[in-house]
DNA sequence: CTCCGTATCT
DNA sequence: CAGATACGGA
């Protein structure tokens, strides 16, 4: 390891007043710096200030970690000059996720600083970072939470709802907010969801649950949602989505894979899954076309026809049944799939026999019948074959199709050998052992620098300047 | 536990 | 209505 130098105050753990410790312990910092020495020293200082710290060297790695559904960072501190050039990308991603960002740099560059702030950074700090600066960071996190809270309060006032803020309620609100800010808390919400379902089914009484939640009306939720995580699927974003879909090919279109190939910072698997669902059902239009597409031909777009509800879909498929499909049907490749005609007995209401047209495929490629289990029955899901032969693929994106018609004829498998940058990142991920105490100056517990800090790094070096300078967003 | 697909919500 | 979320199941 290396020497830390002599800047540690005695009993570093006492650098903040006790009242702040609780707050600080709740702050999880994602620290990003390719200058390994800075990374380590800053991490140690952060730990001394009782923050939870995760260290990475590259912005791209950090970006990937932010995308992880498990991430719950409250603050990102990153060297803007990441050698992988992902500094601003990371900034953008974190800002989109509602996570405060503090940028670090060895450069005393006003232009850089202004740019950072304009792009949503909270602070621009010229290195070296000092303990005094770090001690105060939790305040930025809190301030960010509070500003959201204020906004919520304001909106509540606007909508005439009870304004019960203050005291205990206030704290509760902030915590709830933190859930939104923090990141994906699906798991935590699951119980609530189950409860909701039970309530809907009348299986449990609805008593105390109402108060705060109902006060926050839809507009507020929508606003918060918009501010934080709402993703609009622009034509461009959809293009990336379709690129990924194309690379994967029919039968391999899974949200996680698509997400990986899209390489869009901040985008989550669930968002992709949601979009995938829309596209599969032909329920998505580019923003520009929406107003005019409202009541357009109610195509036989669902998987069920009017009389029956059977839904068979190949796992990972990307079918499309709108009018465009007809065009595809005429595509040479479209007619290649040999189809068998088989009959299937399905315990329908009346126990009739239904007929399904489908191409040959392994039975294990069939996904499953879906929909409420008590409605499983049906007839021909559609006159259009749902399962094009291998090598051909239906696209919702007609523009894309038209542009790429020729290349598509060669099949959908695209350059699968090429490694995505994300995979490359994954390859380079290393989790270093937690125990770094050898470099830790003695302090009360001697264990501040331990379990809470994880490092994702390899070695490199860059020597920072000597004068700290902070530029702050107001 | 992770991930998927579908239903449902906002 | 687009996008987010809930949730059961693989």
pLDDT tens-digit series, residues A268-291: 899 999 999 999 988 898 888 886
Residue A334 above 70 pLDDT?
no
| Per-domain residue ranges of chain A | 1-229+422-464, 235-283+285-395
Q: Which of the four pLDDT bands, split at 50, 70 and 90, describes residue A426?
A: very low
| CA-to-C1' span, A182 to B1 (A) | 21
Write the burial class of residue A221 (CB in 10 Å: 0-12 exposed, 13-18 middle, 19+ buried): middle
Amino acid A400: pLDDT? 43
d(CA A399, CA A300): 22
Lookup result for tokens 């901040």: A266
Residue A260 above 60 pLDDT?
yes
> What is the average pLDDT across A311-335?
44
Query: Is the preceding peptide bond at A447 cis, omega within 30 degrees of 0?
Result: no
| CA-to-C1' span, A226 to B8 (A) | 20
- In Å, how far from its chain's centre is CA A252? 20
Residue A218 approaches strand B within 7 Å at CB: yes
Amino acid A428: pLDDT? 35
Class of the CATH domain delimited by A235-283+285-395: mainly alpha
Q: Which of the four pLDDT bands, split at 50, 70 and 90, describes residue A20?
A: low
Task: Report strand pairing: A52-56 vs A28-32.
Answer: parallel
| CA-to-C1' span, A256 to B4 (A) | 9
Higher pLDDT, A418 or A289: A289
Residue A258 above 90 pLDDT?
yes
Q: Is the dihedral of CA A306, A307, A309, A313 positive or negative?
A: negative
d(CA A406, CA A411): 10
Task: Write down how long chain A is.
Answer: 474
Q: Which nucleotides on strand B sit less than 7 A from a protein beta carbon?
A: 2-10
- Buried b or exposed e, range A20-57, using 16+ CB within 10 angstroms: beeebebbbbbbbbbbbbbbbbbbbbbbbbbbbbbbbb
Could you tell me if A18 and A418 are in contact, meaning their C-beta atoms sit under 8 angstroms apart? no
Q: What is the CATH number of domain A1-229+422-464?
A: 3.40.50.2300
Which nucleotide is nearest, taking the CA of residue A184 and each C1'?
Answer: C5
Query: Nearest 5°: phi and psi at A358?
Result: -155, 150
Which nucleotide is nearest, taking the CA of residue A312 and each C1'?
Answer: B5
Matching fold, domains A1-229+422-464 and A235-283+285-395: no
């Amino acid at each position: 390891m290396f020497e830390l130098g002599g800047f540690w105050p005695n009993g570093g753990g006492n650098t903040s007043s006790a009242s702040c410790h609780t707050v600080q312990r709740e702050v999880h910092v994602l620290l990003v710096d390719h200058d390994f020495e800075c990374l380590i020293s800053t991490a140690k200082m952060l730990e001394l200030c009782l923050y939870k710290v995760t260290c990475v060297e590259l912005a791209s790695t950090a970006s990937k970690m932010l995308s992880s559904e498990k991430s719950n960072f409250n603050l990102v501190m990153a060297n803007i000059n990441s050698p992988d050039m992902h500094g601003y990308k990371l900034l953008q991603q974190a800002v989109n996720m509602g996570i405060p960002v503090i940028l670090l740099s060895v450069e005393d560059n006003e232009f850089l600083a202004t740019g950072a702030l304009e792009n949503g950074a909270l602070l621009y700090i010229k290195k070296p970072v000092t303990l005094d600066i770090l001690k105060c960071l939790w305040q930025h996190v809190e301030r960010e939470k509070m500003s959201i809270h204020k906004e919520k309060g304001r909106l509540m006032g606007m909508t005439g709802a009870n304004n019960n803020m203050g005291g205990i309620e206030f704290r509760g609100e902030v915590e709830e907010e933190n859930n939104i800010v923090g990141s994906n808390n699906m798991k935590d919400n699951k119980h609530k969801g189950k409860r909701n379902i039970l309530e809907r089914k009348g299986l449990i009484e609805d008593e105390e649950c109402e108060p705060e939640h109902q006060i926050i009306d839809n507009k507020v939720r929508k606003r918060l949602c918009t501010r934080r995580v709402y993703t609009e699927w622009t034509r461009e974003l959809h293009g990336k989505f379709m690129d990924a879909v194309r690379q994967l090919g029919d039968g391999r279109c899974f949200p996680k894979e698509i997400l990986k190939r899209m390489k869009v910072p901040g985008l989550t698997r669930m968002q992709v899954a949601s979009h995938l669902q829309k596209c599969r059902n032909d329920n998505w239009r580019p923003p520009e076309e929406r107003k005019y597409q409202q009541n357009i031909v109610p195509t036989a777009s669902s998987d069920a026809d009017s009389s029956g509800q059977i839904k068979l879909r190949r796992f990972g498929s990307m079918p499309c049944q709108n009018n465009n499909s007809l065009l595809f049907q005429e595509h040479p490749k479209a007619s290649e799939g040999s189809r068998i005609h088989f009959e299937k007995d399905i315990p329908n209401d009346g126990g009739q026999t239904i007929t399904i047209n489908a191409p040959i495929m392994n039975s294990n490629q069939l996904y499953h019948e879906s929909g409420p289990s008590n409605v499983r029955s049906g007839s021909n899901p559609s006159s259009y074959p749902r399962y094009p032969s291998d090598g051909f693929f239906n696209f919702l994106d007609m523009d894309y199709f038209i542009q790429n018609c020729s290349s598509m004829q060669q099949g959908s498998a695209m350059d699968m050998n090429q490694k995505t940058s994300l995979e490359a990142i994954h390859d380079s991920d290393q989790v270093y052992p937690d125990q770094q105490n050898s470099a830790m100056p003695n302090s009360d517990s001697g264990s501040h620098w331990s379990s809470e800090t994880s490092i994702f790094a390899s070695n490199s070096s860059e020597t920072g300047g000597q004068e700290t300078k902070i530029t702050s967003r107001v």
